[in-house]
Structure 1
Amino acid sequence: MLKIYSYYFEELVFKFPFGANEGADNPPWNENEDFSPLSPRVAIAVSRLALFDMLRAYPYAEPKFHSCALKKVNDSDCSWWYYDVEWMVYPPECGDRSSISVPVMLNGRVPPFEVFKYEDRFSAWRE
């Protein structure tokens, strides 16, 4: 199982644990194929909606797309791909920005995530 962590300033920690049970290996993508089963544009659109859900209880200005990387997970139990979509988020009361990464599996879904207050962030790394 892969665990991805993303932060919103010193307010929140998002934990995305996912693997085969969440559909990370379906659809499979053969490395000999030219194109992924999910287009980057769809991954970006899906991640944007998830980002709005992730931050629904916190004030923020309109997120700005920053990057979309296709990443491969390799370990003894799996070999699958996901998009790591990064957004720049500007809280309205602060001139600084925060980047938030949102993983999108090739099935077009964002894995379920857990939210931790920054002061409770150490519990995000516990099993």
Structure 2
Amino acid sequence: MLSYDNIWESFLENYEVEDVDLPHPDRIPSVIQNALRLFNNRMRTKAICNNASEMVEGLSGEDDLILLAHYIKLVQLINSKVFYEKLYNPFAADVGVRNFKTQLDSLNNSVKEQEKLIDEIIFNAMEDFI
């Protein structure tokens, strides 16, 4: 089993941002649950979050820990991109379309790189039966 604290610490080690950009501490369990849903969907597992014990049941090991942390990071990057689009898109003409497009392209690249990294982690975690 993986503890919420271990998952969150792993996420923080892989996602260096200002504290203001992190979810409120009260939301940490729901952020982990969301990442677990994405993990379960991708890996076809049935792991569950136990909020009472703050543990994820059905997962263990470094591969699962790293993957959950990176799913949290992916969601944070997507949320940052959506926030940026909604906040600055109405003012794009005023602040300069080139700058807006450059920043948006950068955020899109970050999301794509994170998705690629998740694919690599899954590939590396697969057992070789040869």
TM-score w.r.t. structure 2 length?
A: 0.28
Higher strand share: 1
Tell which has more relative contact order, 1 or 2 (C-alpha 8 A, sep 6+): 1
Larger Rg: 2
